[in-house]
Structure 1
Amino acid sequence: MYQSYSVKNHLAEFSRWSKISRDVMFNACLQKFSQDETCRKTLFRTHGMTLVEASPTDKLWGIGLDKNDKRSEDERTWRGTNWLGETLDKVREELWKKEDFRKEREQIEKESLETRCQLLEHFPL
């Protein structure tokens, strides 16, 4: 009896969390990147790019593939939904439009794509 209740309760909690988790993550990321200039500039350097959570074990927030897997290069072959990448893309675009960050945006717009990619490669994760 307890096990049955526990499973049902877990499924109900998971269902509730699934309905709000993307909004919760969006708001958390929006706060983080609004407050942390280094992280925000790094996010801004990805402007015009699609962000991907290349996690072979996460098919919900990630693409279900490792970054070294050739299939990760083609969205049609992803095994996951990439909710984290989509969320970060939305956060970036919202912050990109804010007047408060105009100077940062203008600075990054002056950087070449090559420079931006080099800086992103050396950003510690």
Structure 2
Amino acid sequence: MQEVYYFQAQKFVGTPHADQIRQVKTPKDAARMGRERSRPLRPDWEQVKDDIMRKAVLRKFETHADIREELLSTGDELIVENAPGDYYWGCGADGSGKNMLGQILVEVREILRLSNQQ
């Protein structure tokens, strides 16, 4: 779950908030701290968050063979992040969400597939 720490800390890169998030005990605590709006988000967050998530997810699957194989076993299936409360990273309650995490997983799957062919 290191990707949770990384992603949340990147919201505050270059500030003491990033270090505080990296040092908490659980990924749940890191996520909670990253969502606290009392902390000032980096000004370019909306522009960089997808690339940061992509980097974190790719690293996670490059590092862990078991879940990499599971992801690759999905073939060409659409991947949907079933998160009823999240209309950006997930599908939302009514399926109208952007499903950005699902899209990133599909991209990462293709990157991994191509790297396996080399």
Pairwise TM-score range, normalised by the shorter structure = 0.5 to 0.7
Q: When the two structures are superposed, what TM-score results if normalisation uses the length of structure 2?
A: 0.61
Give the structure with higher Rg (CA): 1
Provide the aligned C-alpha RMSD in A: 2.0
Pairwise mapping of residues 1-125 of structure 1 onto structure 2 (< 5 A)?
Answer: 13=41, 16-65=44-93, 78-98=95-115, 101-102=116-117
Query: SS in structure 1 opposite 2:44?
Result: helix
Relative contact order, CA 8 A, sep 6+: which one is greater?
Answer: 1
**When the two structures are aligned, how many residues end up with a matched partner?**
80
Percent of paired sites with the same residue: 32
- Offset from partner CA, 1:29-49 (integer Å, 9 cap, x none): 111101110010000011210
Query: Matches of 2:110 and 2:42 in 1, distance apart?
Result: 29
Structure 2: gaps (5+ residues): 1-36
Query: Matches of 1:83 and 1:96 in 2, distance apart?
Result: 20
Q: When the two structures are superposed, what TM-score results if normalisation uses the length of structure 1?
A: 0.58
Structure 1: gaps (5+ residues): 1-6, 66-70, 72-77, 103-125
Moved >3 Å (runs of 4+): none
